[in-house]
Amino acid sequence: MRIYIAGPMTGKPGYNYPAFFEAEQQLRALGVDPVNPATLHGDAPIGSLSHSAYMRTDLRALLDCDAIYMLRGWHASKGARCEYQVAHCIGLRVLTQESDEKMLAEIAA
């Protein structure tokens, strides 16, 4: 199962990468294939691309996933709200960090 990680980046210290990498490690430990948007942009320095360029790459990656994992604070992120809407519209399972950690273990089993 491929799970896309979504959450706030813009305006967060270090673009919130530590939270994305922590989620990636947790998901990988459960035996799923995490898709971390913090790693999708090659060698481009953090913050060097436009929001639109980031979102285009991220949305393409989301389309190849089976579920989306919403990090804490996602409601305050324009990009994460967009990713949520796309995931919901195409029928992906939506998991949230606040309430679905137990469910993730069941998915991985």
Look at residue 106 and tell me whether its pLDDT is greater than 70: no
Q: Between 14 and 81, where is the model more confident?
A: 81
Q: Does pLDDT of 99 surpass 90?
A: no
| Domains: count for the chain | 1
DSSP alpha helix (H) spans, the chain: 17-29, 51-62, 78-89, 101-108
Structural domain for 21, as ranges: 2-108
Question: Which of the four pLDDT bands, split at 50, 70 and 90, describes residue 98?
Answer: confident
Sign of CA dihedral 87, 89, 94, 97: positive
46-96 per-position pLDDT tens digit: 778 899 999 999 999 999 999 999 999 999 999 999 999 999 999 999 998
> CATH code at 50?
3.40.50.10400
Interval 21-33 mean pLDDT: 93
Tokens found for residue 26: 């947790």
